[in-house]
Amino acid sequence: MYKENITAIELLVTNYFEGIFYGDIKKLQSCFYNNAPIYGDIKGADYFKSSEDYIEGVANRQSPNDLKESFNMKIIGVDIMGKIAMAKLHVPMLGYNYYDYLSLTKIENEWKIVAKVFTHVE
């Protein structure tokens, strides 16, 4: 079961990465569950949006791919316990050095992001 779950979570995170890197909104929408909250800070400024508002922002900006950035996003670690999991990611893009923690839950046999917290580290 662990192998199946880690494979499914890696696919979810790949869709998340590709969604934000290429501006693939459908792929990004498929990752989040029901308007999940997103909290973080960007250069010390607090950030709070729903996943719907976040995805709208991604749709209305130039993608890192359009800006000819290199794809350097990676999974640092995944911790799974039953039907919940936490994924720690490094997401460098658009001149920022982001670290994301994604709270995941298996809902109707599919892994979804139910909350995201992130920070920019200089």
Residue-wise pLDDT for 52-103, tens only, equals: 999 999 999 999 999 999 999 999 999 999 999 999 999 999 999 999 999 9
Residue-wise pLDDT for 11-29, tens only, equals: 999 999 999 999 999 999 9
Query: What is the distance between the alpha carbons of residues 18 and 89, in angstroms, rounded to a whole number?
Result: 13
Query: What is the distance between the alpha carbons of residues 88 and 64, in angstroms, rounded to a whole number?
Result: 20
When the pLDDT of each residue in the chain is averaged and rounded to a whole number, the result is: 96
Write down the residue that tokens 């460098």 correspond to: 92
pTM, rounded to two decimals: 0.95
Strands 110-120 and 74-81, sheet pairing: unpaired
